[in-house]
Amino acid sequence: MTEKIGVLGKKSPQRTGVERIVNAPLPTVYGQFRAVGYLDHDRGDEQVALVHGDIGAEGVLTRLHSECLTGDAFGSQHCECGDQLAFALKAVAAEGSGVVIYLRGHEGRGIGLLAKLRAMALQAEGLDTVEANLALGLPVDARDYGVAAGILHDLGVNSVRLMSNNPRKREALVQHGIEVAETVPLLIPPCESNITYLRTKRERLDHVLPHLDAVAHLS
């Protein structure tokens, strides 16, 4: 814990880590959830975990969903994010319990909304998603999952069944003390608008996307 100097010259503690702020009922089209809101004192982001049912501590069905305004809110077909979010919420409701952590600050794999849109413009000119970020002088993936692990710890979760195709999420949770008992694939049928993006995620970012082999006809 770090300290800051108060107005009278006295040192006062500065909060670090993640702090639970509110727990509110959230009825959705997928079922009844609790929206547990957190403040990430390290980055200043407001975060939320959508909790369904009595989750327990072990083997909790869990999705770490990176914020994606274009996909989650606007239905963009440039990516599969919106469909993944809907699938995860449906899966948790069908399971009877689980957690979907919506990670703000992860827009564009952590580069932010405007930078993501600039990268998308470069992709429209022929670069892939990795090349576009690098052309802008930005990291390929700047996301950090420490806050997600902190939220899971606060919720009393020790191990998860992680809905993800990204092995880096599994590695990050393990590094932060969350056991990953199983990785549950989250495979969304591709379309012509996102097939190149998805193939790049498989070939250059190590995402596990075996279903792409069956859609060779897409450009």
Q: What are the pLDDT digits (tens) for 161-212?
A: 999 999 999 999 999 999 999 999 999 999 999 999 999 999 999 999 999 8
C-alpha 213/C-alpha 219 separation (Å) is 13
Q: Give this prediction's pTM.
A: 0.90
Q: Which of 72, 83, 128, 141 is catalytic?
A: 141
Q: What are the pLDDT digits (tens) for 106-120?
A: 999 999 999 999 999
Verify whether residue 40 is a known catalytic residue: no
Q: What are the pLDDT digits (tens) for 18-57?
A: 999 999 999 999 999 999 999 999 999 999 999 999 999 9
Runs of H (alpha helix) within the chain: 69-72, 81-95, 107-110, 113-124, 129-135, 146-154, 167-175, 195-205
Q: Which of 143, 144, 199, 204 is catalytic?
A: 143
Q: What are the pLDDT digits (tens) for 117-175?
A: 999 999 999 999 999 999 999 999 999 999 999 999 999 999 999 999 999 999 999 99
Verify whether residue 141 is a known catalytic residue: yes
